Amino acid sequence: MPGTATKRKRPTTRRTRKNGADKISVGCLFSAIGGFTAAFQQAGARVLWANEKDANAVKTFRHNFPGVASIHKPIENLTVEGDGLKPVDVLTAGFPCQPFSIAGMKKGFDDDRGTLFLHIIRLLREFGADKPMYHVVIKARRIQVI
């Protein structure tokens, strides 16, 4: 009816909560040794998988989080289907910020690391309708210029 306010339904958290689990699910890109993983686990979330390319960081991550599936490969080679990434409620990404950081060389897209965040967008598209509801990424002051 025109002019009548309707109450919008609050969206329910998808996937694990929809399937009866009582915890938010999380996937971590650029996981390093697990900073986002530790924070979300301490908050009561369940981290399903993590991705990191640095071998030493992966070794530490696997030691600290043995129950989390850890995928050791560059994000450029990571795919939702090929690597069996389960849909999650939250996607975290601690991508390299040095190209945009005021403490870095400030090369932006001219630094090889400066375009890695675009793979986050690619992966979100690969998830399609199952893409995470929330995305948590690091922030570098100069990235706002883009």
List C-alpha distances in Å: 40 to 27, 90, 92, 111, 122.
10, 10, 10, 30, 24
Contact, 32 vs 61, CB < 8 A? yes
CA distance 108 to 129: 31
Across-strand partners of 69? 49
From 97, 116, 120, 123, active-site residue: 97
Q: Is 97 a catalytic residue?
A: yes
Q: Where are the alpha helices (DSSP H) in the chain?
A: 35-42, 55-64, 118-127
Amino acid identity, position 35? G
Residues annotated as catalytic (active site), given as ranges: 97
